[in-house]
Amino acid sequence: MQNRQPHSSRRSFFSGAATVGAAAAAVVALPQVMPSDATVSEPARVAPEKGGGYHLSAHVKQYYKTTQL
């Protein structure tokens, strides 16, 4: 009768290594999250009476950063 212990040990080793690799890839792929204390709130703006209303907000600045090459 053959001893099957080394095969299950190798199998669990490779399974664990694959799990650790997948977890590391997920951490790298996730976006960085800023702490809630570091967020800056802008004062609410009143909409203009004749339309328009474009202003350079933090959201727009972030969009412009993502479009730069």
CB distance 47 to 53 below 8 Å = yes
What global pTM score does this model have?
Answer: 0.36
Given this model, what pLDDT does residue 3 score?
58
The answer to whether residue 1 scores a pLDDT higher than 60 is: no
E strands, the chain, where? none
Higher pLDDT, 66 or 69: 66
pLDDT tens digit string along 5-59?
555 788 888 888 999 998 888 888 877 665 555 556 667 777 777 777 677 888 8
CB distance 61 to 42 below 8 Å = no
C-alpha of 31 from chain center: 2
Structure tokens, 34: 């800023």
- H-helix or E-strand spanning residue 32: none
47: which residues sit within 8 A by CB, 6+ positions away?
Answer: 53
